[in-house]
Chain A
Amino acid sequence: MEVLVNGAKTYAYTGGKAFDAAQPTVVMIHGVLNDHSVWALQSRYLAHHGWNVLAVDLPGHCRSGGDAPSSVEEAADFVAALLDAAGIEKAALVGHSWGSLIALEAASKLKERVSHLVLVGTAFPMKVSPALLEASLNEPMKALKLVNVFSRSTLAPPPSTLGPGTWVYGASMALGRRVLASNREVNLFHRGFQACDRYANGEAAIAQICCPVLFLFGEHDQMTPHSAARGLLTIARSTGKFRQISSVPVGHHQMSEAPDETLLVIRDFLAL
């Protein structure tokens, strides 16, 4: 569906079901050089199991207009504006990688308007190496390959988004190229990485959230290893908002290399 947010057309995949005000809502937020389709299986399942799903394309990405956010805070403001524009009082927020930081920051601002927070493949700080930052700007295809090589954990992924026969690595490469090409004015790769790298409010944000939080890690994740979220976990535990930590036996492609495990963990957490 399309919603006008801050005056810009915003696309959100709804999982094949129309919005129903009587149902709870989950907003799914993608990472750098991704779009809504990284959540294809999980979002479609939730949409057919009692949830309104808004798997957004962030502003300036693929089907969404507007200016691509240059900071996590700016993207979090977009999420809040999206809820207002769609007339959603309360929602669960699910984010992957950069999207996890956006979800975290949005949850800290939206307080009770967020029912659940799911951080998939998260880290704080989410530092990006200077070499990778530079490559994302000047050699984006080289950087895209590096990111996907780091994200992959297996040469034999299970049936995934396109069904059996999906070559997840190739699909991730193709999606990265597509997203990059979707914005001729801004290098979405570099802007997204820069936003990750510069975000400094993670620990303050997690101290302010008012909902239970799920951390979902990839056991072999080289992009955002489990240990890189230790600070967030400690604070979440201390505030009593921490509810669950789960891991799936893959790398940074949690939704595509372990689609079922990722879905079931999120589904069960949202049922709390």
Chain B
Amino acid sequence: MPGYSDPGFDTLALHAGAAPDPATGARAVPIHLTTSFVFESSDHAASLFNLERAGHVYSRISNPTNAVLEQRIAALEGGIGAIATASGQAALHLSIATLMGAGAHIVASTALYGGSHNLLHYTLRRFGIDTTFVQPGDLDGWRAAVRPNTKLFFGETVGNPGLEVLDIPAVSAIAHEAGVPLLVDSTLTSPWLIKPFDHGADLIYHSATKFLSGHGTVIGGLVVDGGSFDWDASGKFAELTQGYDGFHNMVFSEESSVGAFLLRARREGLRDFGACMSPHTAWLILQGIETLPLRMARHMGNTEKVVNFLVGQPLVARVGHPMLASHSSHALAQKLLPRGAGSVFSFDLKGSREQGKAFVEALKVFSHLANVGDCRSLVIHPASTTHFRMGDEALAGAGITQGTIRLSIGLEDPDDLIDDLKRALKTAEKAGA
């Protein structure tokens, strides 16, 4: 029954979670910059605190502007609800901290954003949570890495930096055999390119800083629950299926048959860790999401043109995008990401580290900085920036060469992007002469 009651993606991107403000008639979502909310009575206050009635108490726990954003991303992902956090890293930490404590184990893809790798490999080990890393395409590796104390599988829809596509149906099946959920970082793809719940993922998080916000203005994160994972049946998650002393001995999986994760994440994680999102940030991310379908279509169109240009350049040794048949994830990308595998990718220049630096410094339209998913095109040369301390061997281990360049393709005229790249390639060529 298509129609307003069964809206499509573009309509949800504009309307999910939001209605004209009943108090003022404001059509745009109001920014509720308030720390707290007045109780109607003492009984109303007690009922809100005790989860007998739903509403807002204090903006660290929830806020009406943030709630619109949470509903909107849940609608776009096909989830049951979401929680907005201070950053994508906060969303990842909230997800993990809700599901486990010291003594637990995670199986994660090797192809992760550096910040996520740091959290798992260094920081969480200090708190007693161990991680085994496996190549995202090594299905036997995922299975073999499972231990009795494993609580989570984790990967990125398209991995960093090589854009290896995570085989979500296969990896989620292995996770479910092991009685654990699959958490997916969908930052680089956004729900416009892939809806991981449709393929078997259980939890999704975004660095909303990137494509959801889309304008390089704010830092924020979102974690979405698909409501699909049966915590009771797993038997591994006392955090959700046994009484929690920190909240009136509530058994979250009894309270909500499908929403136990979100209940605990908000009632414990936001309450105690406090990594909440500012309502102003939520509003800016909402502004971004309203044009997400339009922007993503343009991102992908521009990316295709730039990739095709780079493939034909003699100074370019390799272009690492799954749209190319030469990419190891090409077939999987065709299956899981029919609209494209994102607009962030890398390519290798033939040449030295100095040539890579010369290339980046010659660009005029591309901005040289450490971010992705902006409406503006971005570039970084890992060997001289994020990975500058690494020698050749270490770089090779990370899948990076002296001439690797990472691009995030924006919304400019594609001809201007290609002209900019042509100029920079000439400069790099001269630098190697």
Contact = CB atoms under 8 A, between A and B. Distances in A.
B259 A165 contact: no
Given A41-B53, A174-B228, A263-B53, A167 B81 contact: yes
B52 A48 contact: yes
Nearest to A222: B5
B63 interface: yes
A111 B391 CA distance: 84
Contacts of B79: 167, 170
B145 interface: no
B67 A155 contact: no
B80 interface: yes
B338 interface: no
B62 A165 contact: yes
Contacts of B55: 159, 164, 260
B182 to A, nearest CB: 16
Contacts of A154: 19
Centre residue among B50, B82, B84, B259 by max chain A CB count within 10 A: B259
B51 A41 contact: yes
B319 to A, nearest CB: 38
Given A37-B256, A167-B74, A167-B82, 10 more contacts: A45-B52, A149-B6, A156-B19, A163-B262, A163-B266, A165-B262, A165-B266, A166-B262, A167-B17, A173-B227
A48 B71 contact: no
Contacts of B258: 37, 171, 174-175, 178
B189 to A, nearest CB: 19
- What bracket does the count of chain B residues touching chain A fall in? 35 or more
A200 interface: no
A217 interface: no
A167 B262 contact: no
Interface in B364-397: none
B248 A159 contact: no
Contact of A16 (B12, B15, B248, B257): B248
Given A149-B1, A169-B75, A177-B228, A164 B62 contact: yes
Nearest to A256: B54
Given A162-B81, A167-B16, A259 B70 contact: no
A44 interface: yes
18 contacts: A35-B257, A36-B257, A41-B51, A41-B52, A62-B257, A152-B5, A156-B18, A156-B68, A156-B71, A158-B54, A163-B262, A164-B55, A165-B62, A166-B54, A167-B74, A170-B74, A179-B257, A263-B53
A169 B256 CA distance: 15
A167 B83 CA distance: 11
Given A146-B1, A164-B67, A45 B75 contact: no
B391 to A, nearest CB: 46
B250 interface: yes
Interface in B71-92: 71, 74-75, 78-84
B254 interface: yes
Interface string A130-155: 00000000000000011001101011
A58 B327 CA distance: 52
Centre residue among B1, B17, B62, B256 by max chain A CB count within 10 A: B256
B162 interface: no
Contact of B78 (A149, A157, A170): A170
Interface of B: 1, 5-7, 12, 15-19, 46-47, 50-56, 62-64, 66-68, 70-71, 74-75, 78-84, 226-228, 230, 248-250, 254-259, 262-263, 266
A164 B70 contact: yes
Contacts of B53: 41, 45, 259-260, 263
- What bracket does the count of chain A residues touching chain B fall in? 35 or more
A158 B22 CA distance: 12
A25 interface: no
Contact of A163 (B50, B62, B250): B62
Contacts of B64: 164
A156 B65 CA distance: 12
A40 interface: yes
Contacts of A150: 1, 5
B84 A165 contact: yes
Nearest to B230: A178
Contacts of B6: 145, 149
A171 B228 CA distance: 10
A71 interface: no
A201 interface: no
Contacts of A157: 71
Contacts of A208: none
Nearest to B247: A16
Interface in A35-64: 35-37, 40-41, 44-45, 48, 62
For the complex of A and B, 8 pairs with smallest distance between CB atoms: A174-B227, A165-B70, A167-B74, A159-B54, A45-B52, A164-B67, A156-B19, A164-B62
A155 B16 CA distance: 5
A183 interface: no
Nearest to A220: B5
Contact of B67 (A44, A149, A165): A165
A48 B81 contact: no
B310 to A, nearest CB: 40
Contacts of A163: 51, 54, 62, 81, 262-263, 266
